[in-house]
Amino acid sequence: MTQLFNMALAKSIYYSKLAPRPIRLNRFYSKKIVLPILIVAISLFSFGTKASAQEASTGSQHRIEMFADKLIEGEDYLAYRMMLHEVTDQNGNTTDITSRYSIEAIVPGPTIIMDEGDVADITLFNRVPNPDEILHQENVSLHVHGVHYQFHSDGTLKYINLAEDQGATLVQSYTYRWDAAPGTAGTWPYHDHNMNTHNGAEDKGLFGALIVNPASGNVTISRGGNSSNTTLSSIQKEYVLYVLDDIFVGTEIDSQTGEQTPVWVNPTLTAQRGSNVRFHLIALGTNLSQFSLPGYGWVDAGTNFVISEKAMGPLEKHVVTIQADTSSNYMNTTFSGVSQGMIGRFNVNP
């Protein structure tokens, strides 16, 4: 009974803080999305590596608080919501960057951006209001790929790790430490691994992206099929696009201000002509996808090949940095991708 009261109180406080829900959320549902996932692959590919004993941090410390939340009351979809993000640099100066994020629970979840060498402590709160789940002490987590972490930050259930449930219940938060150690630069998925099943409720919307920028501060950019090096600071826009089986769902980030805008399903992306932009594609579905952006070529990461299409299997990722030149469409050109209408505008403004 006390738990019920606490939850009701927490819920009322929490909802009273919410701004009115924007209508564009409805677009997300109007397509009757099912977010299918390859559950086995999630487990097999969940390769967040173990941190070696204790690597000295050379970068900033991030303190993050996130909620796992219902996306809309009455709907059975879930999403992560950013509550707090503070960054403390090596000189001890702390900056609160929470205002860069949407105040809503969003899909994909907040994009967490770190530099190679940074460490993040992320506390997750379970705010999925469902009386049944109180009884079951339903557990929600953050499981990340690509960066280093100790055992306790795996974000899995005792069923999998044989030791403990590593997640937040309605009465207890859980804190994870992610170490963006040297060598972990890249774009990585994070997702729930504990809710409803031992593979988590990723299929309900609990997934997001982690971008670890290289310590060098440099990226390879493609322009007219030629590649060169440029600085990270020259990038104007980041587009995080999760590639599901029947939709793209994404976030647009203004790299200069850091502001993150949820743009939802098959969004129209915008850029200024001549500006540098970066696409972060993460495949989540069960199908093979073929990402295409007609009129553009780019260097396939890790090779010297210039490509104009990229095949992606479930949970593969692909990062494309280009100079925006002409408007185009991004799309999934597989047979099922085309038949599902997986296409969106890339508008380049003069």
The nearest distance, CB 46 to Cu ion, in angstroms, is: 4
Contacts with Cu ion by CB under 5 A lie at 42, 46
Position with the least CB separation from Cu ion? 46
Q: Which is nearer to Cu ion, 42 or 221 (CB)?
A: 42
- DSSP sequence for 124-188: EEEE---HHHHHTT--B--EESSSBB-GGGS---HHHHSS---SBBTTB-EEEEEE--TT--EEE
CB of 155 to Cu ion, least distance (A): 9
- Comparing CB distances to Cu ion, the nearer of 42 and 307 is 42
Minimum gap (Å) between residue 205 Cβ and Cu ion? 15
Strands 78-88 and 94-96: antiparallel
Q: For residue 174, how many other CB atoms are within 10 A of its CB?
A: 22
Q: Rank residues 46 and 126 by Cβ distance to Cu ion and give the closer one.
A: 46
Which lies closer to Cu ion via its Cβ, residue 126 or residue 194? 194
Cα(212)–Cα(321) distance, rounded to whole angstroms?
Answer: 15
Residue 190 or residue 291: which is nearer to Cu ion going by CB?
190
DSSP-based three-state secondary structure for 95: strand
Q: How far apart are CA 140 and CA 124, in angstroms?
A: 8
Three-state SS at 346: strand
Compute the least distance from the CB of residue 212 to Cu ion, in Å: 16
Considering the complex, what minimum distance in angstroms separates the CB of residue 19 from Cu ion? 31
Instruction: Name the minimum Å distance from CB 175 to Cu ion.
Output: 19
| DSSP-assigned beta bridge partners for residue 321 | 278
| Closest to Cu ion by CB, 186 or 344 | 186
